[in-house]
Every structure is written in C-alpha cells, then in structure tokens.
Amino acid sequence: MKRNLLLVSNSTLHGSGYLEHCQGDIKDFLGKEVKRVLFVPYALHDRDAYAKMARTKFNSLGYELDSIHEASDPVEAVRRAEGIFIGGGNTFRLLKCLYDNKLLPEIRKRVLEGGVPYLGSSAGTNVSTVSINTTNDMPIVCPPSLSAIGLVPFNINPHFLDPEPTSHHMGETREQRIRQYHEERDTPPVLALREGSMLLVSGNRATLLGTSRARLFIRGKPTVEYEPGSDLSFLLEEGL
C-alpha cells in the first residue's frame, strides 16, 4: 500500500499562527517532489477566505496551492493532484460536500493506489478514517452516510480534551462519549489526538508526532496513553 498521510489534530495551536506548530512536519511530509497542493475548503462556509488563508501559508512554505472549490471539475482536480490537503471546520458539512461531488472514491484511489500525499487537519483528519462517528462537531447538515474515506481502519477524535479537575461542568467528558460509542458492536478503535499531536502514516507504518500524548480507546479494553514518537503501526491492522 502506497498511502502517505499526515493527520493533524488541530490547525492552530495556542500561541501560534495557522499551521505554524506543524509547518516543519508538513514540509518534511510533502518534500520537494510535490510542487502544488490541492486544498479542500468544504468544511467552512466562506471557501474563498479559507483558500486565501491556506494559500498564503503554503506559499510561505514553498508550495503552490489550488482550491478545489475553484475547479470546474472537482473529480478531475483530484485525479491531477500532486498532494491533497483537507482543512478543518465542520465535519458534517465537509463530508456532505465530498459525497455531493463524488470525491470519496477518487481521493481513496489517489491516496491508496497512487501514493498521493494526504494532509488532514481536524475535520480533514476525521474524514480520512472509517467514519465521522467520533467527531466533536454538530450535525448542521446531513451527509448521506457517516462512512468516510477509509484511508486507515480506525477512527480519530481530534482536539481530545482531558477533564478539568476544578471544573463544575457536569456534562459528559470526551472520554465518556468515546466509551459510549464503543458500547455499540463492531466499532473500530479510536485514537484520541490532543492538540499539538499528529499521526504520520507511511505505508504500513504509523508514528505519533508532535508535542502531546495521544490516548487509544479499543472496545472492551483499558485505554492506553502514547508519547510522541510512539510506533502505532499495529493500528493499521484490519479487525483490531
């Protein structure tokens, strides 16, 4: 399998600018062979402004950026892409637009068979997985299915938050919600990425990068914490 993925929890980290905290990882990931990146801004309503922000950032890193919402044929844009970046925003809106434009099978084919690098941030990370069942977002629109692109055989919860010990908030924690998901049968593992963390996938190897730990939830098993640099390749095995 030729997949090359960089799945980032968040695009903006406290105290830094847009993609600033992971810009070195992005440059290492895309390398010098990729000259142009195809950006998918479907997760936000103002696609022009979103594309402008992303273009400014990628230009500063030495890459040209084309936004798929400006393409006359989105499917053909994916087929010609040297690299794909799907940004954050509302995951339901993003997935619905991917379905509406018939892009899920095209992206899957280009990444898994063609080896095109895939960069995801937040919602863009969510849609790279089995489904968007573990997103934090509100269902402001209704995609035809919650099934996503399926570049990896597990789910991710970006922006994972630990309970605040001094908080008086009595609502469910992020951990409780993920455990509720796993009360359903045949639910895949969930990798909870705290802000500042990201997962690099190269073929059948997966490595946790960034500055924060990640927590792994597997149905019926205790949760496990992983430090940056951990080898998580076992998550790529089907039927875990």
For the chain, count helices (H), then strands (E): 7, 11
User: How would you classify residue 206: left for phi > 0, otherwise alpha for psi between -120 and 50, otherwise beta?
Assistant: beta
Rounded distance between C-alpha atoms, residue 92 and residue 9, angstroms: 17
Q: What is the 3-state secondary structure (H, E, C) of 21-84?
A: HHHHHHHHHHCCCCCEEEEECCCCCCHHHHHHHHHHHHHHCCCEEEEHHHCCCHHHHHHHCCCE
Rounded distance between C-alpha atoms, residue 114 and residue 59, angstroms: 25
Task: Count CA within 13 A, CB hemisphere, residue 154.
Answer: 25
CA dihedral over 208, 85, 195, 161, signed as positive or negative: negative
Rounded distance between C-alpha atoms, residue 220 and residue 227, angstroms: 22
Q: Which amino acid does the sequence have at 198?
A: M
Q: 122, 128, 197, 212: which is the annotated catalytic residue?
A: 122
Query: From the CB of residue 65, how many other CB atoms can be counted at a distance below 10 Å?
Result: 19
Is 122 an annotated catalytic residue?
Answer: yes
Residue with tokens 């049968």: 185
Is 46 an annotated catalytic residue?
Answer: no
Is 100 an annotated catalytic residue?
Answer: no
Q: 25, 69, 147, 159: which is the annotated catalytic residue?
A: 159
- Residue 190 near residue 155, CB atoms below 8 Å: yes
Coil, helix or strand at residue 231: strand
Q: 66, 128, 131, 137: which is the annotated catalytic residue?
A: 137
Residues identified as active-site: 122, 137, 159
